[in-house]
Amino acid sequence: MSEQRTALVLGGGGITGIAWEVGVLAGLAEAGVDLGTADLVVGTSAGSVVGAQLRSGVDLEQLYEGQLEPHVGTERAARLGRRTLARYGLAMLLARRDDVAFRRRVGELARTAADTGRTPTEAERRAAIASRLPSPEWSDRPLVVTAVDAESGEFVTFTRESGVELVAAVGASCAVPGVYPPVTIDGHRYVDGGMRSPANADLAAEYDRIVVVAPLPRGAGPMTSVDAQVTGLVSRVAVVSPDQASLAAIGKNVLDPAAREPAARAGRAQAAAVADRVREVWQG
């Protein structure tokens, strides 16, 4: 029998999503299911941060403890306000379920917000992203980071072979339109890979065993849900998304650094409940 290839897909979900995912991964490792051994890691938005952290080789317990530390630093809480959400809704309406057209419209929204000073600067965001990464260097182990070209709406992926700095790639994947500025790479501006799908799980379709850890599993409008992407795959798949206790801990503002600790603890607690299901998919 040929060797079964494994893939870990880490979805978007803001600052609390990072904390929750780290909690889930640490709890699963404690239960004997180490997803860090994945042959491929796919990271979108928050998941790109966690993917880079995981591939850095830093111990999961250390990453988890880092989420429990009081928030310090210059990064302030952000929020997806009603006006921004309304603009997303209008972009969906005008795009008429054309996914590329939708991404072009939210890309325009992102560029306008940044160019008129309604977001932090690119330099500020780069510093915030760099502070989350244990290393600025790509790992030798396969990691795919997703983003969207803010002008064309094209979905793009960055890897070690792309020749793009890891901090820039992760920053692009985390650039929530209207909240954070697009990231400029080689003259192009990029925004959040979650504008295509909350997790982009289909990028792992060729792998035999797939675990998707998705703080925000549902899609909206042209943004494809996790379930839609994994339905019909011949792979063995387990999807882990927040239970009620985790949702309560994460709270209403996923971009608030102060909510990292409760989100991480809730993720770790939830891991115990899903460990057997994930183990069956991962280990057989």
**Whole-number Å distance between alpha carbons of 90 and 87:** 5
Whether residue 34 lies in the annotated active site: no
Range list of β-strands (E), 123-269: 143-149, 155-158, 183-185, 188-192, 209-213, 236-240
Instruction: Kindly state the tokens that stand for 98.
Output: 């054309």
CA distances (Å), origin 67, targets 18, 36, 85, 120, 174: 9, 18, 28, 23, 18
Query: Cα(218)–Cα(224) distance, rounded to whole angstroms?
Result: 8
Identify whether 192 is a catalytic site residue.
Answer: yes
Can you tell me the distance from the alpha carbon of 66 to that of 80, in angstroms, rounded to the nearest whole number? 25
Exactly one of 192, 225, 241, 246 is catalytic; name it: 192
3-class SS at 9? strand
Q: Give how far the C-alpha of residue 140 lies from the chain's centroid of Cα atoms, to the nearest Å.
A: 20
By annotation, the residues acting in catalysis are 45, 192
